[in-house]
Amino acid sequence: MEGNPITILLVEDEDAHAAIVKRNFNDFKLANKINHVKDGQAALDYLYQRNQYSDPLSSPRPELILLDLRLPKVDGLEVLKTIKTDPSLTPIPVVIMTTSSAEKDITQAYDNYANSYLVKPLDLQQFMPMLESIGFYWLVWNKSPNID
């Protein structure tokens, strides 16, 4: 895919899920860089460029955040609340990508201004087309404001 480099922050504690996302996005040539963190605290450190993520060249502002809900250290909903209450982070689209289909989780995510809520299919053959759709929608077709 041609155009400007795209950075995605993938917040996922399951290595197998993260590997599937990275492999599929690379196969579809939808992203130039996927930065993966495994817990909510690391996601916040990345977004605020703190600690090991203090270098803006290696930890650039993402154009999209794929956020799991069930995370160690800081829960995904808390990460979402922080993002959507900070004017410097609010414009970044946040797609919740989780195994939970619980109505309470869906409602809380949208109450905290998630841009989308997707339930990860357990079947890999269904997961791959979902990832392709996410990539094309959020990274190709959707237009977002400049967040720099």
- pLDDT, tens digit, 9 for 90 and up, residues 68-105: 999 999 999 999 999 999 999 999 999 999 889 899 99
Question: For residues 32-64, b (16+ Cβ closer than 10 Å) or e, as one string?
Answer: eebbbbbbbbbbbbbbeeeeebeeeeebbbbbb
pLDDT at 88: 93
Across the chain, what does the average pLDDT equal? 86
DSSP state of 114: -
Predicted structure pTM score: 0.87
Q: Is the pLDDT of residue 148 over 90?
A: no
Count Cβ atoms below 10 Å from residue 100 Cβ, excluding itself.
17
Using CA atoms, how far apart are residues 147 and 12, in angstroms rounded to an integer?
23
* 131: Cβ contacts below 8 Å, ≥ 6 apart: 20, 21, 24, 25, 28
Could you give the dihedral angle defined by the CA atoms of residues 52, 53, 55 and 60, in that order, rounded to the nearest 10 degrees?
A: 160
User: What pLDDT, on a 0 to 100 scale, did the predictor assign at position 68?
Assistant: 95
User: Going from the N-terminus, what domains does the chain have, and what CATH number goes with each?
Assistant: 7-141 (3.40.50.2300)
Note the pLDDT of residue 20: 82
**Which residues, 6 or more positions from 118, have their beta carbon under 8 angstroms from its beta carbon?**
95, 96, 97, 98, 130, 134
Q: 36 in helix, strand or coil?
A: strand
pLDDT tens-digit readout, 103-124: 999 999 999 999 989 888 777 7
